[in-house]
Amino acid sequence: MQRAETVLGVLRDRGRRGLPCNELYRQMFNRDLYLLAYGRIYANQGAMTPGASAETADGMSEEKIDQIIEAMRHERYRFSPARRVYVPRKNGKLRPLGLPSWSDKLVGEVVRVLLEAYYCRGKCSPLRRSVICEIISE
Protein backbone atom coordinates (compact mmCIF):
# COMPACT_ATOMS: atom_id res chain seq x y z
CA MET A 1 0.00 0.00 0.00
CA GLN A 2 1.08 3.53 -0.67
CA ARG A 3 1.74 5.98 2.11
CA ALA A 4 -1.13 8.31 3.04
CA GLU A 5 0.76 11.42 1.91
CA THR A 6 1.30 9.89 -1.53
CA VAL A 7 -2.36 8.91 -1.93
CA LEU A 8 -3.58 12.33 -0.83
CA GLY A 9 -1.07 14.07 -3.09
CA VAL A 10 -2.28 12.10 -6.11
CA LEU A 11 -5.91 12.89 -5.21
CA ARG A 12 -5.12 16.60 -4.86
CA ASP A 13 -3.37 16.60 -8.22
CA ARG A 14 -6.26 14.79 -9.93
CA GLY A 15 -8.72 17.21 -8.35
CA ARG A 16 -6.78 20.29 -9.49
CA ARG A 17 -6.62 18.98 -13.04
CA GLY A 18 -10.30 17.98 -13.04
CA LEU A 19 -9.57 14.33 -13.73
CA PRO A 20 -12.03 11.66 -12.56
CA CYS A 21 -11.36 9.89 -9.32
CA ASN A 22 -11.85 6.21 -10.02
CA GLU A 23 -11.62 3.47 -7.42
CA LEU A 24 -11.70 5.81 -4.43
CA TYR A 25 -13.33 3.08 -2.30
CA ARG A 26 -10.16 1.01 -2.70
CA GLN A 27 -8.28 3.66 -0.71
CA MET A 28 -10.47 2.77 2.26
CA PHE A 29 -8.27 -0.35 2.59
CA ASN A 30 -5.13 1.72 3.25
CA ARG A 31 -4.03 1.31 6.88
CA ASP A 32 -1.87 4.45 6.66
CA LEU A 33 -4.97 6.59 6.07
CA TYR A 34 -6.58 5.19 9.23
CA LEU A 35 -3.46 5.99 11.24
CA LEU A 36 -3.48 9.53 9.81
CA ALA A 37 -7.17 9.90 10.69
CA TYR A 38 -6.55 8.52 14.18
CA GLY A 39 -3.79 11.10 14.70
CA ARG A 40 -6.16 13.88 13.69
CA ILE A 41 -9.05 12.96 15.97
CA TYR A 42 -7.67 11.16 19.03
CA ALA A 43 -6.73 14.39 20.80
CA ASN A 44 -10.20 15.89 20.36
CA GLN A 45 -12.06 16.67 23.54
CA GLY A 46 -14.74 14.06 22.87
CA ALA A 47 -12.38 11.22 21.93
CA MET A 48 -12.78 9.57 25.32
CA THR A 49 -16.58 9.90 25.32
CA PRO A 50 -18.17 6.55 24.54
CA GLY A 51 -20.65 6.66 21.69
CA ALA A 52 -23.14 3.98 20.75
CA SER A 53 -20.69 1.38 22.05
CA ALA A 54 -18.24 1.51 24.94
CA GLU A 55 -15.24 1.89 22.61
CA THR A 56 -13.12 5.02 22.87
CA ALA A 57 -9.79 6.23 21.49
CA ASP A 58 -7.99 4.22 24.18
CA GLY A 59 -9.45 0.96 22.91
CA MET A 60 -8.22 1.43 19.33
CA SER A 61 -5.42 -0.80 18.12
CA GLU A 62 -3.87 -1.82 14.83
CA GLU A 63 -5.80 -5.07 15.07
CA LYS A 64 -9.07 -3.14 15.35
CA ILE A 65 -8.08 -1.03 12.33
CA ASP A 66 -7.34 -4.25 10.42
CA GLN A 67 -10.80 -5.56 11.35
CA ILE A 68 -12.40 -2.37 10.02
CA ILE A 69 -10.38 -2.59 6.80
CA GLU A 70 -11.31 -6.25 6.35
CA ALA A 71 -15.00 -5.41 6.83
CA MET A 72 -14.62 -2.59 4.27
CA ARG A 73 -12.88 -4.90 1.82
CA HIS A 74 -15.76 -7.39 1.95
CA GLU A 75 -18.38 -4.59 2.09
CA ARG A 76 -19.58 -5.72 5.51
CA TYR A 77 -18.85 -2.55 7.51
CA ARG A 78 -22.01 -0.96 8.85
CA PHE A 79 -22.25 2.28 10.79
CA SER A 80 -23.94 1.77 14.12
CA PRO A 81 -26.71 4.12 15.27
CA ALA A 82 -25.40 7.08 17.23
CA ARG A 83 -26.23 7.41 20.92
CA ARG A 84 -28.57 10.37 21.42
CA VAL A 85 -27.99 12.69 24.38
CA TYR A 86 -29.38 16.10 25.13
CA VAL A 87 -27.14 18.99 26.11
CA PRO A 88 -28.39 22.25 27.62
CA ARG A 89 -28.45 25.47 25.61
CA LYS A 90 -27.84 28.90 27.08
CA ASN A 91 -31.58 29.63 27.01
CA GLY A 92 -32.25 26.60 29.24
CA LYS A 93 -33.67 24.34 26.55
CA LEU A 94 -32.05 21.09 25.48
CA ARG A 95 -30.60 20.30 22.07
CA PRO A 96 -30.02 16.80 20.72
CA LEU A 97 -26.49 15.54 20.14
CA GLY A 98 -25.55 12.28 18.43
CA LEU A 99 -22.48 10.41 19.71
CA PRO A 100 -21.18 7.90 17.16
CA SER A 101 -18.96 4.98 18.08
CA TRP A 102 -15.20 5.48 17.84
CA SER A 103 -14.94 3.19 14.78
CA ASP A 104 -17.57 5.26 13.00
CA LYS A 105 -15.69 8.46 13.83
CA LEU A 106 -12.51 6.97 12.44
CA VAL A 107 -14.10 5.77 9.20
CA GLY A 108 -15.84 9.12 8.80
CA GLU A 109 -12.55 10.95 9.20
CA VAL A 110 -10.89 8.75 6.56
CA VAL A 111 -13.72 9.54 4.15
CA ARG A 112 -13.47 13.26 4.95
CA VAL A 113 -9.71 13.29 4.38
CA LEU A 114 -10.07 11.56 1.00
CA LEU A 115 -12.90 13.78 -0.22
CA GLU A 116 -11.29 16.97 0.99
CA ALA A 117 -8.03 16.08 -0.78
CA TYR A 118 -9.86 15.64 -4.07
CA TYR A 119 -12.44 18.42 -3.93
CA CYS A 120 -10.71 21.27 -2.13
CA ARG A 121 -8.12 21.79 -4.87
CA GLY A 122 -5.90 23.96 -2.71
CA LYS A 123 -8.71 26.33 -1.70
CA CYS A 124 -9.07 25.07 1.87
CA SER A 125 -6.98 26.01 4.82
CA PRO A 126 -5.65 22.96 6.68
CA LEU A 127 -6.75 24.64 9.93
CA ARG A 128 -10.34 24.93 8.77
CA ARG A 129 -12.32 21.75 9.29
CA SER A 130 -15.51 22.20 7.37
CA VAL A 131 -18.12 20.30 5.47
CA ILE A 132 -15.76 19.78 2.51
CA CYS A 133 -14.81 23.44 2.67
CA GLU A 134 -18.41 24.61 2.92
CA ILE A 135 -19.19 22.63 -0.24
CA ILE A 136 -16.27 24.28 -2.01
CA SER A 137 -17.29 27.79 -1.04
CA GLU A 138 -20.42 27.46 -3.15
Q: Which residues lie below 8 Å from residue 64, measured CB to CB, with a gap of 6+?
A: 103
**How many CA atoms does the CB half-sphere of 97 hold within 13 Å?**
11
Report residue 87: phi and psi, to 5°: -115, 145
What does the pLDDT look like over 83-136, one tens digit per residue? 899 999 999 999 998 888 888 999 999 999 998 888 886 555 555 555 555 555
What does the pLDDT look like over 8-45, one tens digit per residue? 888 888 888 888 888 889 999 999 999 999 988 887 77
> Under a CB-based contact definition with an 8 Å cutoff, are residues 84 and 98 in contact?
yes
Asked whether the whole model's pTM tops 0.85, one would answer no
